[in-house]
Amino acid sequence: MKSSPGSRPHGRRPSKARPPRPAARPSPTRGRTEPGRARVEPARRQTAPARGRSAPAAQPRSAGIAEIARGIAERVLYASLRGSPADRELSRILRTWRSLGPADLRFVSRLVFALFRWWGWTRPFRDKSLHRVLFLSYWLDGGPSHPALAAWGPAKELQPLPATATLDAKAEAFRRLTRERPSAASLVPEWFGGMTDGPVPELIQSFAGTPALWVRSRDEDAQPLLGELRAAGVESTPHPAVAQAIRVRSDASLYDLEAFQQGRFEVQDLASQVVGLVCAPAPGGRWWDACAGFGGKTLHLGSLMRGKGTVVATDLRGYKLEEVRRRARRAGLSNISAREWDGRGAPAKSGSFDGVLVDAPCSGTGTWRRNPDARWRTKPSDVDELAVIQAGLLRQCAAGVKPGGLLVYAVCSLLRKETTDIVDAFLSERRESFVLDPAPHPLSGEPTDGRVWVWPQSSEGDGMFVARMRRAATTAPTEPRA
């Protein structure tokens, strides 16, 4: 089995995969612990495989949770090694299991993501026993005790690792148990260190942690929402510098909360919220969110504009825009319009936007804590292909910016080729019309030259690179290069 058989860079789906249902969205905590993960809707789950599907987790109904979990993990592992994202595969499989309760769903979800998080250390055992791999992964991950573990390994002999155990301490405990000598570097692909300017040991340490779940308050005053979340039993902590960003912990579904149904908060990672804050659109302005996807950042822009002005949300994939419209309705934002865009031309007259956001498709290396499977699916050649797309999108979208307006480029990547290289090349090509626009870092308040990094090891969110550029006030509208 090869460890990197294919990839689905962030924002691109494999051509053969069916699109998720329009209702699909980054999921909070329905029946699971991992944020941004497999979404499970109990009403749609079945006790037996759905007709017309390949047999999901082909286990008898009577099988114990250990065997069910092993079967599911194995299916997700093989699908991921063939290039399919683990969260999508897991959601698809879990929808077919009605018999699993919330605790079992949380266990399976944690197990699957632990499997990928620790795959660099545990894969030598895969030929001998997948049980062993699962057991070691879950133990390294510090998952809560579960009866299934006893079926897979010497649970009685094992002390749970302390929640505060460092990566070094985990490596030492793993060595004592298995006699293997794991290195931190083997938790990421070999090419990673040479392609990032970030601090590699700290990044690897951060990827070994479990991700935090963040929501964004729609309203500027987040206090009433905080009170409601806490009253509903959701542990909630606002970010010290960004009052609307609230870190949450809950075993129950956030989607069932009245505040969510009323559109008063969205699930949105902290790093993603930074992008909107760097854009800082003025109420009444006219913005274009060129790669809107399911609209996470579109909604933030619309909300920062207090519902005034316009945000035109476009994406190559029309099905995603249905979700943007639905979310905008729920949030009560009438300043958002969504339309399909094939990447050519602009959705309106050239040079007519106060600001254009290009949240380009990327390798998603900044999300490796949240999407641990992506480490083993991404190849350097994917990054090269993506860099060509990113440079093209940036050039194309620049045409939409009016003189004196803003062009914001964002990627959840930590790789030079997708971040500083793209922006440096663009700015040297267009030095007469665009310059970096200095702005304070939204999380620290420190001044920046317009390039804003969010590093996962220091932010409790994903990694992100954002560049804020301003078009000269006097030049003629810039035409895209074909």
Ligand X SMILES: C[S@@+](CC[C@H](N)C(=O)[O-])C[C@H]1O[C@@H](n2cnc3c(N)ncnc32)[C@H](O)[C@@H]1O
The C-alpha angle with vertex 203 and arms to 248 and 234, in degrees rounded to 5, equals 5
What lies within 8 Å, CB to CB, of 203 at 6+ separation is 188, 196, 414, 455, 456, 457, 463
**Which region, judged by CB under 6 A, interacts with ligand X, from 5-13, 144-152, 191-199, 301-309?**
5-13
The C-alpha angle with vertex 287 and arms to 285 and 290, in degrees rounded to 5, equals 180
From 31, 143, 198, 296, residue interacting with ligand X (rule: CB under 6 A): 296
Closer of 25 and 131 to ligand X (Cβ):
25
The least distance separating ligand X from the CB of residue 310, rounded to whole angstroms, comes to: 17
**Binding residues for ligand X restricted to 352-371, rule: CB under 6 A:** 359, 361
Joined tokens for residue 142? 């510090």
From 343, 347, 403, 477, residue interacting with ligand X (rule: CB under 6 A): 343
Instruction: Say how far apart CA 300 and CA 244 lie, in whole Å.
Output: 11
The least distance separating ligand X from the CB of residue 380, rounded to whole angstroms, comes to: 18
From 247, 306, 317, 325, residue interacting with ligand X (rule: CB under 6 A): 317
The least distance separating ligand X from the CB of residue 408, rounded to whole angstroms, comes to: 11
Joined tokens for residue 265? 């908060």
The least distance separating ligand X from the CB of residue 236, rounded to whole angstroms, comes to: 22
Joined tokens for residue 23? 């209702």
Tell whether residue 98 is a contact of ligand X (CB under 6 A).
no
Residue that has been written with the tokens 């963040």 in this structure: 214
The least distance separating ligand X from the CB of residue 314, rounded to whole angstroms, comes to: 8
Cα 137–chain centre separation: 22
Q: Which of 279, 362, 397, 412 is catalytic?
A: 412
What lies within 8 Å, CB to CB, of 418 at 6+ separation is 360, 362, 363, 383, 386, 387, 390, 411, 465
Closer of 141 and 269 to ligand X (Cβ):
269
Closer of 63 and 316 to ligand X (Cβ):
316
The least distance separating ligand X from the CB of residue 418, rounded to whole angstroms, comes to: 11
Tell whether residue 294 is a contact of ligand X (CB under 6 A).
yes
- Whether 291 sits among the annotated catalytic residues: the reply is no
Query: SS3 of 227, please?
Result: helix
**Binding residues for ligand X restricted to 258-277, rule: CB under 6 A:** 272
Residue that has been written with the tokens 């005790």 in this structure: 145
Tell me how long the chain is: 482
φ and ψ of 235, to 5 deg: -65, 120
Instruction: Say how far apart CA 340 and CA 9 lie, in whole Å.
Output: 21
Closer of 285 and 296 to ligand X (Cβ):
296
CB atoms within 10 A of CB 54: 8
Tell whether residue 85 is a contact of ligand X (CB under 6 A).
no
Tell whether residue 11 is a contact of ligand X (CB under 6 A).
yes
Tell whether residue 292 is a contact of ligand X (CB under 6 A).
yes
Report whether 146 contacts 155 (CB < 8 A). Answer: no
Tell whether residue 10 is a contact of ligand X (CB under 6 A).
yes
Tell whether residue 465 is a contact of ligand X (CB under 6 A).
no
From 34, 89, 315, 373, residue interacting with ligand X (rule: CB under 6 A): 315
Task: Give catalytic residue positions.
Answer: 412
Which residues would be at the binding site for ligand X (CB under 6 A)?
A: 10-12, 272, 291-294, 296-297, 315-317, 320, 343, 359, 361, 389, 393
